[in-house]
Amino acid sequence: MTDEEIISHFRETNALLEGHFLLSSGLHSNRYLQCAKVLMYPDRAALLCRALAEKVENTLGANSVDIVVAPAMGGVIVGYEMARQLNVPGMFTERENGEFTFRRGFSLTPGARVVMSEDIVTTGKSSRECIAAITAAGGTVVAATCLIDRSNGTADVGVPLVSLMQMEVQTFEPDNLPAELQGTTAIKPGSRDIK
Ligand SMILES: O=P(O)(O)OC[C@H]1O[C@H](OP(=O)(O)OP(=O)(O)O)[C@H](O)[C@@H]1O
Ligand SMILES: O=C(O)c1cc(=O)[nH]c(=O)[nH]1
Ligand SMILES: [Mg+2]
């Protein structure tokens, strides 16, 4: 799947937003990729995750994954579809007092080979937090995946990161906003509690 085909799925579903956004990391941006708008279409979710699962298999080899774990909320749908495409089970972690935890009776077999599946990577902070929770629960994270790596390959999540597409999207510290964003109110689409 080419980058143009991937981005077309975002454009056609109005998932490529422009405005003023407060990101999960606390950084600001004039662009936002709302993956939920793409993933609301099961056929598009399947096409994108099939292509990403193929990349994982090319990187790790066949039958190298025991389970997919995804961080809620953004990772839930993509994690489900990645598990389906890799033909393994999938589960998710969710925040409790700000920390990713396994709830709902989810647990990992010690040493289970885990692919951690995100929707978006900007700084990699959420990915690293989810990977830490998986490791603490006894899993071995063999790779991380995301649909779009907004860091253009610069985010370090501590394990190989397989992205469907890399993009370079500018981000800004809150006290260093460009003129176009100054004086406008930032929208915060994600669910992380930013103090
Ligand atoms: O690489 P990062 O800088 O961590 O940014 C990317 C993270 O931000 C978004 O989640 P968010 O925390 O907004 O919550 P959500 O998944 O509930 O939407 C997205 O789903 C990633 O998890
Ligand atoms: O960094 C984020 O929080 C973020 C950026 C983006 O483009 N999309 C998203 O869901 N989260
Ligand atoms: Mg998220």
Task: Provide the terminal-to-terminal Cα distance of the chain, rounded to the nearest Å.
Answer: 39
Per-residue pLDDT at 120 exceeds 80: yes
**How many angstroms separate the CA atoms of 21 and 27, rounded?**
8
119 is in an annotated binding site: yes
SS3 content of the chain, % helix, strand, coil (to 5): 30, 30, 40
Spacing, Cα 77 to ligand 1 middle (Å): 13
Render pLDDT for 34-71 as a digit per residue (tens, 0 to 9). Answer: 999 999 999 999 999 999 999 999 999 999 999 999 99
For the structural domain made of 48-166, what CATH number should be given?
A: 3.40.50.2020
pLDDT band at 193 (very low <50, low <70, confident <90, very high): confident
Q: How far is the CA of 167 from the centre of ligand 2 (A)?
A: 12
The residues pairing with 145 across neighbouring beta strands, listed in sequence order, are 117, 162
Say whether 123 counts as a known binding-site residue.
yes
Ligand 3 mean position, distance from CA 74 (Å): 4
Q: What is the 3-state secondary structure (H, E, C) of 48-76?
A: HHHHHHHHHHHHHCCCCCCEEEEECCCHH
Coil vs helix vs strand at 95 = strand
**Residue 134: is its pLDDT beyond 80?**
yes
- Residues present in the chain in total: 195
Which pLDDT score is estimated for 109?
98
The answer to whether 126 is annotated as binding is: yes
Q: Say if strands 16-22 and 120-121 run parallel, antiparallel, or are unpaired.
A: unpaired
**Mean pLDDT across the chain:** 97
Contact 132, 116 (CB under 8 A): no
120 lines ligand 1 (CB under 6 A): yes
Question: Per-residue confidence at 138, pLDDT binned at 50, 70, 90?
Answer: very high
**Confidence category of residue 123, pLDDT binned at 50, 70, 90:** very high
Q: Is the CB of 117 under 6 A from ligand 1?
A: no
Q: Is the shortest distance between the CB of 122 and ligand 1 below 6 Å?
A: yes
Residue 178 pLDDT exceeds 90: yes
Split at pLDDT 50, 70, 90, the class of 194 is confident
Cβ neighbours around 99 below 10 Å, total: 12
The residue ranges of DSSP E strands in 10-169, in sequence order, are 16-22, 28-33, 67-71, 90-96, 99-101, 113-117, 120-121, 140-149, 161-166
Q: Is 120 in the pocket of ligand 2 (CB under 6 A)?
A: yes
What are the residue ranges spanned by the domains of the chain? 48-166
ipTM value > 0.95: yes
120 is in an annotated binding site: yes
